[in-house]
Structure 1
């Protein structure tokens, strides 16, 4: 789809998401037979609940029907959260991932898995998990040195202090 259609969709949907305390992360349109699938991905600092996705979906459906930005071709609207293995492209994505494992490809080609401990304006402080009984190693990664990063599914993640209760 053309970028202009995505831009028009973003202009329509971003205010709806913002009114509900959600950040509009991504919009994609994918052909699916005679239909298209319009995927809207939203997030918050605390994650997204199913009720918030359903509420945004209802509001977005009404606005999209009125604006006719999708044209005459039938489409299916999907509103969801990014998922554990989301790409990390904004500093807020890293802040939301504190305590989690991420996979990072640096601009020099090095690839590493890091557990994020803290995030500031310039980058993140993390630790590279120890293997076979070894202790984790601290590692500083500046945002300007990151070529790509993605969340990792992490079965060993320790709960945050407010999640323990």
Structure 2
């Protein structure tokens, strides 16, 4: 069974001959790139910023679905902790999650952060295809902040 190892570069088949690539970061984090050809070395990849960093189910790699095609030590930038937003389904309150800690947040602090969710390989593949096509992704859209459920000034639920 293939192993999910930090620094690995995985190839993601998107169908129709399209491919994308992602780096394995600290478990369960991946950094996905807007590149269609395997980079020859980490320096080539180093010029590119990830389009998103999200948590991904282990089986994306361990099942062999996303084969490991290279492995390099992680660059300092990729070792920095990632922050994610969460929104309570009932109260609408927002929080930021990072490195096992969660704190209350307002909407402005959450803008630009990824939602705290563990993605399946299939959903990441859909998101990458949509990114390439310049189309909105239904999975990502479903996880966006529901601004109509919070009061921007206080974080309280609208009545």
Give the TM-score normalised by structure 1: 0.29
Give the TM-score normalised by structure 2: 0.29
Higher strand proportion (structure 1 or 2): 1
> Larger relative contact order (C-alpha < 8 A, sep ≥ 6)?
2
Between structure 1 and structure 2, the one with the greater Rg is 1
